[in-house]
Amino acid sequence: MEHIENPPSSPALEITTSRQMLAWMAEQHLSLSFTTYQIGKLFFLGLKPNQELSVFERTFNRCMGLCTTDNGLYMSSLYQVWRFENVFAAGEQQDGFDRLYLPQMAYTTGDLDIHDMAVDADGRLLFINTLFGCLATLSETHSFKPPVETPFPQQIGGGRPLPPQRIGHERGPGRLCHRRQRGRCLRRLARAPYQRRHRDRHGQQ
């Protein structure tokens, strides 16, 4: 008789805490949320009415960045930024839970390798765009955009002028570039007149 082996089952999820963590959460009246990109999970930790640990998780591919808003949170995944909103009214509960976060919007950013995120005083999301090595915010038309027009130094040592020219579209001084070359954002600096040298067709000065 042929023996059929059962496929190995996935290991059970186990979460352990330090001895005083649950007491501290009860004292502070708070819950915790975090992501782990190794297994692609978004976790919510809280306390049940009997003061035992409550664990709720959902799966998102390579979820990393996470921050809160006044009534929800933002989270980054492999190629999207998700916005969750709490749909419970004040004082509303269901099965012992006082928050219900639903995904309301997802921005497709591409694989920007987004890590740290925060919401500024105007409610705008800021995040670290690791792929491009810059601070960025969401865009309605592009993968991302710079949060501000960063001024570029107009002078070098000794007060000599250094006019910059931006690589890419929308040329103009003092603008951040959007085009990537060799894995990074670049600026092309026009040489000052006293630095220019002309070469003939043979490459001689």
Query: Which tokens hold the place of 117?
Result: 């995120």
pLDDT in tens, the chain (205 residues): 555 666 666 667 788 889 999 999 999 999 999 999 999 999 999 999 899 999 999 999 999 999 999 999 999 999 999 999 999 998 898 888 889 999 999 999 999 999 899 999 999 999 999 999 999 999 999 999 998 765 555 555 555 555 544 434 444 444 444 444 444 444 443 343 433 344 444 545 4
**Amino acid of residue 1:** M
122 Cβ contact partners less than 8 Å away, ≥ 6 residues apart:
none
Q: Which residue has the tokens 């042929």?
A: 2
Strands (E) located in the chain: 32-36, 41-47, 53-59, 66-68, 72-76, 80-86, 101-108, 114-119, 125-129, 134-137, 155-156, 160-161, 164-166, 180-181, 184-185, 187-189
Question: Is 34:41 a contact under the CB 8 Å cutoff?
Answer: no
Q: Which residue has the tokens 């043979």?
A: 202
What CA–CA distance (Å, rounded) separates 130 from 183? 11
pLDDT value, residue 78:
96
Give the residue from 9, 79, 83, 7 showing the smallest Cα distance to 40.
79
φ/ψ (deg, to 5) at 46: -150, -165
Q: Is 80 helix (H, G, I), strand (E, B) or coil?
A: strand
pLDDT value, residue 191:
40
Concatenated DSSP letters of 111-157: S--EEEEEE-TTS-EEEEETTTTEEEE--SSSS-B-SS------EEG
What CA–CA distance (Å, rounded) separates 127 from 129? 6
pLDDT value, residue 27:
95
In this structure, the number of other CB atoms found within 10 A of the CB of residue 160 comes to: 10
Query: Which tokens hold the place of 203?
Result: 């490459």
